[in-house]
Structure 1
């Protein structure tokens, strides 16, 4: 996918409709299934709070030239193995899957994290049974550290791959502490 055809736009209150579009059995089959409306609203408020709180960034993924929102990508702080890291996730709506949009959007979000992040590492934890998301990690420049037990959503254990990007190793990487 030509990176010029993908634009990341900051998450706004209007993106609740997009969040509802990705909250389907098909889209959430690898992460515990659809969330209740209450949980969806909580997630949306958390996404809106990422920038003011300094804990992450959430974006809608826009496909050009039509300017249509086709998915989401973002990262947020989490505790992992004794330290604070960023965790990244993404969604691309079914009609737009298989075109390289997720990998292109993930690369753009990794670049944004490298320019603004407070932490050294950014991780993604796709299920070992999700070949598409694992391919996105590979194509977006993450390094596979291996399999791990992971909880997502909280209370639901799953076997995941631990993929990582060292934000300091990127050309635009931060110089702050890990």
Structure 2
């Protein structure tokens, strides 16, 4: 497994979002966003980090300190249970190398240290085989298919993967 570092999201990480906005990377997420939406997302990540309601990071490798993707987790309510939700994106050129799995394992450890919630959920679309495999490799348990909306207003079918913290 590759060695990755998670660097807290900063104001200069907008370019990381722009690189992750490629059509092939946004297939399961409703398609590419406009630049205005990316600026809003960057501002939201910064605000949520400041508020402590999310922990967003740039995924860094020794060879690529500029970052190869995004990962984070945030407060979430799953069927009335206070939980965390996680999501990630690794740039196309770095996929298939174990980077997302390594980053997800780092997120699990971060969430354990932060505490506050007992479950960490991930909701990859049922047809997103790669993200479902990452959840399995990281030790999540698949609780089955559920309906979800992403982006808001766009109903999709997902797997509810959960990691007991």
Question: What TM-score range do you get, normalising by the shorter chain?
Answer: over 0.9
Match of 1:149 in 2: 147
Displaced runs of 4 or more, over 3 A: none
Alignment partner of 1:76 out of 70, 74, 77:
74
User: Number of residue pairs matched?
Assistant: 165
* 1:83-127 per-position Cα deviation (integer Å, ceiling 9, x unaligned): 332110111111111000000001001110110032111100000
> TM-score with structure 2 length normalisation?
0.95
Residue 157 to residue 112, structure 1, CA distance change in 2 (3 Å): same
1:83-122 to 2 correspondence within 5 Å? 83-122=81-120
Unaligned stretches of 5+ in structure 1? 168-178
Q: Note the residue ranges of structure 2 that are not aligned, 5 or more in a row.
A: none
> What CA distance in whole angstroms lies between the structure 1 residues aligned with 2:115 and 2:15?
28
- TM value normalised by structure 1: 0.88
- 1:122-150 deviation line (CA, Å, top 9, x unaligned): 10000000000001101111111111001
- Cα RMSD for the two superposed structures: 1.2
Q: Could you tell which deviates more after superposition, 155-164 or 79-88?
A: 79-88
- Residue in structure 1 matched with residue 161 of structure 2 by the alignment: 163
